[in-house]
Amino acid sequence: MATDAPPPSTTTQSLPSAEEFISVQESAEFGELRRTYRSFAFPLTVAFSVWYFLYVLLSIYASDFMGTKLFGNVNVALMLGLAQFLTTFLIAWWYARHAAAKLDPKAEAIKSRMEGDA
């Protein structure tokens, strides 16, 4: 019975050692990558969480306000609920752009250096 699996590679690339990983983790370059990620992700996470819990709290404690009809059968609660989805997609799009511009080049440089040293 024939298989379509490729033959095993005759060249094996050695993996970086634990010491090399620790060295990279402690490097200024890796620290900068982490700071860049955190300075973007943490404030947005807090802002979106506040926005989400505001919506929940308004739904619980301000039901008259949330039930206010805007037009037809559309009320404030529905519009704010749809805005939750919109902000989720906008944040994902913004993060993808941020990662491509700021995070990926730094991560790729670290990866290339580690693979080159291996």
Q: Say whether pLDDT at 107 is over 80.
A: yes
Q: pTM for the whole thing?
A: 0.73
Q: Label residue 6 by pLDDT band (50, 70, 90).
A: low
- Give the residue-averaged pLDDT of 42-52: 96
16 located within any domain: no
- Phi and psi at 69, nearest 5°, equal -75, 135
d(Cα 94, Cα 102) in Å, to the nearest integer? 12
Q: Does residue 35 fall inside a structural domain? A: yes
pLDDT at 97: 96
Rounded to whole angstroms, the Cα distance separating 74 from 106 reads 46
Return the structure tokens found at 19.
Answer: 């010491």
Rounded CA separation 22/30 (Å): 11
Host domain of residue 54: 27-117
User: 49 vs 18, 34, 61, 81, CA distance in Å?
Assistant: 37, 21, 18, 14
Q: How many CB atoms lie within 10 A of CB 36?
A: 16
pLDDT at 5: 59
Q: How many domains does the chain have?
A: 1
